[in-house]
């Protein structure tokens, strides 16, 4: 199972908790579709990044797939010649959502982001990889059906990012651990066959706050939905039991829900979008059962 497939499987379980509200989510996401065929982000412009979250949300809730206008819009990006690593990964995931694989041109472009230490970085030509870069690159290669063969070098690159407290920083320049970087590293290492990093798992579990959410780093001023969703997802796939925290985690997620059918990113955020709506489903799904 790929990283994307795991996330979808988890997000699908959110329907058990959403109940009839699942139809509101579908309506909200469909309402973000632009005449151009892509889904809008935080402006009226269609955005490839937000479109992948829209497509995966609709798939997770068994809603009707994209129309021909959306298929054509995604096809307009070609082989991603003008895209950075984040958007290359988005393109690969959008095409996976459409059932398309085998784009070797995307693989070649991803490989341009290989760092000297065997990891991947958001910018080409770097000496060391980042946790996010490795997560994006591995997921994109899986999405186009080109699994990584040299797994040891990526694992070694990530090992250099683990901090004394147990979590991972995103890059060598960042001294402390972060929740998204740790979740990314745990997930990648597991997909590389390295098993569960127990120190990282323990650190990540300790980031669930009294409000039921996770901040981006220890001592962050507030919890956010992205960190909470990816943190819970990584922990769930390390066989973590949420019995003692499930209720307060659900309360935190519910506090970010809108009856319009979407989720916002944190308590100070007044905007709903497709990204955070998918993360709402991902967080809920990992707390189900």
Would you write out the chain's pLDDT as a tens digit for each of its 289 residues? 999 999 999 999 999 999 999 999 999 999 999 999 999 999 999 999 999 999 999 999 999 878 899 999 999 999 899 999 999 999 999 999 998 887 789 999 999 999 999 999 999 999 999 999 999 999 999 999 998 888 999 999 999 999 999 999 999 999 899 999 999 999 999 999 999 999 999 999 999 999 999 999 999 999 999 999 999 999 999 999 999 999 999 999 999 999 999 999 999 999 999 999 999 999 999 999 7
Q: How many CB atoms are located within 10 Å of the residue 256 CB? A: 24
Q: Which CATH class is domain 3-287?
A: mainly alpha
Smallest CA-to-CA distance from 249 within 282, 275, 272, 271 is with 282
Q: What residue segments make up the domains of the chain, in order of their start?
A: 3-287
29-42: b or e for each residue (b if 16 or more CB lie within 10 Å)? beebbbeebbbbbe
CA–CA gap between residue 136 and residue 208 (Å, rounded): 25
- Predicted local confidence at residue 25, as pLDDT: 98
Q: Rounded to the nearest 5°, which phi and psi values hold at 169?
A: -90, 160
SS3 39: strand
pLDDT for 169: 98
For CA atoms 203, 154, 52, 145, the dihedral sign is negative
Among 261, 278, 160, 287, CA closest to 225? 278
Angle at 216 between CA 210 and CA 219, to 5 degrees: 55
Q: What letter does residue 20 receive in the DSSP assignment?
A: G
Q: Residue 276's Cα: distance from chain center in Å? A: 10
Is residue 128 within 8 Å of 121, Cβ to Cβ?
yes
């Amino acid at each position: 199972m790929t990283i994307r497939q795991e996330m979808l499987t988890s997000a699908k379980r959110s329907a058990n908790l959403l109940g009839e509200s699942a139809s509101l989510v579908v309506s909200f996401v469909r309402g973000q579709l632009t005449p151009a065929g892509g889904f809008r982000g935080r402006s009226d412009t269609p955005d490839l990044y937000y479109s992948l979250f829209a497509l995966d949300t609709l798939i997770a809730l068994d809603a009707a797939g994209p129309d021909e206008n959306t298929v054509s819009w995604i096809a307009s990006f070609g082989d991603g010649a003008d895209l950075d690593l984040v958007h290359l990964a988005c393109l690969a995931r959008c095409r996976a959502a459409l059932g398309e694989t085998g784009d070797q041109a995307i693989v070649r472009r991803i490989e341009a982001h290989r760092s000297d230490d065997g990891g991947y970085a958001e910018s080409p030509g770097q000496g060391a990889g980042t946790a996010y870069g490795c997560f994006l690159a591995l997921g994109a290669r899986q999405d186009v059906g080109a699994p990584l063969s040299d797994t040891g070098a990526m694992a070694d690159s990530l090992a250099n990012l683990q901090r004394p407290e147990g979590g991972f920083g995103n890059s060598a320049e960042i001294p402390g651990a972060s929740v998204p970087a740790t979740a990314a590293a745990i997930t990648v290492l597991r997909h590389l066959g390295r098993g569960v990093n127990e120190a990282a798992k323990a650190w990540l579990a300790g980031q669930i706050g009294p409000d039921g959410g996770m901040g981006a780093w220890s001592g962050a001023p507030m919890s956010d939905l992205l960190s909470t969703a990816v943190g819970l997802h990584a922990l769930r796939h390390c066989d973590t039991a949420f019995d003692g925290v499930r209720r307060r985690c659900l309360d935190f997620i519910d506090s970010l829900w809108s009856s319009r059918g979407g989720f916002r990113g944190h308590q100070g955020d007044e905007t709903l979008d497709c990204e955070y709506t998918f993360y709402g489903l991902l967080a809920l799904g990992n707390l189900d059962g």
